[in-house]
Amino acid sequence: MRPNSKDDLVRVQAFSLAERAAVYRAIETRRDVRDQFLADPLPDALISRLLSAAHSAPSVGFMQPWNFVLVRDPAVRQAAWEAFSRANQEAAEMFEGERRDTYRSLKLEGIRKAPLSICVTCDPDRSGKVVLGRTHNPRMDAYSTVCAVQNLWLAARAEGVGVGWVSIFHDADIRALLGIPKRIEIVAWLCLGYVDELYREPELAVKGWRQRLPLEELIFNERWGGD
């Protein structure tokens, strides 16, 4: 490993006020889109920018464990929706009373409505058996892949593109549908498409499922539970 040289480094300066505001706005107004997608296709150049943002994510040991399976075929998306629908019916039965009714009232049509789906996967073998930074926490590859998802999501918000994360399916169904090898972990099925409106607050908060927790209740000082 060669030592650093001055040519490897760039001077760090804070963003301008406008640039900072844009970053925080993307973070604060990002939403999980379930049903508001428009049918208009996303341009290839835009998709490339979103994937480049995802690929710029941090990764432990610089292993870059992600792959992105782009799914545009309506027939494949329909099959994925059917896998989701079966699992979603199972999920509804796990809740009781009004909670079950509220769950069933949520519109979860992103797979069929969004013109593009991206299945984000994690390859645990990309950097070999022993990976810098993963030596004592084997999940760091998956955590790194989630960083790629977040990068893509924030870039999409800046581009006026909605993203929905589908997690309700049996892994084996999606694995078989897309031909994903057993050793590869499925991290996320993302639905992407233009939207002309977003909820002011997270949809589950608006619809009474759960409210945002106060930040001050989640912060400890020096040790767990510390004031």
DSSP structure class, residue 109: -
Q: What is the CATH number of the domain that holds 204?
A: 3.40.109.10
Is residue 5, in this structure, part of any structural domain at all? no
For the chain, counts of helices (H) and of strands (E): 8, 4
Task: Determine the pLDDT at residue 1.
Answer: 65
The position carrying tokens 């835009």 is 46
Task: Determine the pLDDT at residue 109.
Answer: 80
Task: Determine the pLDDT at residue 11.
Answer: 92
Nearest-angstrom CA–CA distance, 92 and 71? 27
Is residue 6, in this structure, part of any structural domain at all? no
The residue among 27, 1, 55 whose CA lies nearest residue 157 is 27
Is residue 176, in this structure, part of any structural domain at all? yes
> What is the residue range of 138's domain?
31-209
Is residue 220, in this structure, part of any structural domain at all? no
Task: Determine the pLDDT at residue 61.
Answer: 96
Task: Determine the pLDDT at residue 137.
Answer: 94
Is residue 10, in this structure, part of any structural domain at all? no
Is residue 171, in this structure, part of any structural domain at all? yes
CB within 8 Å of 50: residues ≥ 6 apart: 152, 155, 156, 159, 161, 192
The residue among 205, 97, 119 whose CA lies nearest residue 169 is 119
Is residue 224, in this structure, part of any structural domain at all? no
Is residue 75, in this structure, part of any structural domain at all? yes
Q: How many domains does the chain have?
A: 1
How do the pLDDT tens digits run along the chain, 227 residues long? 666 777 889 999 999 999 999 999 999 999 999 989 999 999 999 999 999 999 999 999 999 999 999 999 999 999 999 999 999 999 999 999 999 998 998 887 899 999 999 999 999 999 899 999 999 999 999 999 999 999 999 999 999 999 999 999 999 999 999 999 999 999 999 999 999 999 999 999 999 999 999 999 999 999 999 88
The position carrying tokens 């002011």 is 200
The residue among 142, 127, 124, 163 whose CA lies nearest residue 30 is 163
Task: Determine the pLDDT at residue 158.
Answer: 98
Q: Which tokens belong to 62?
A: 């610089």
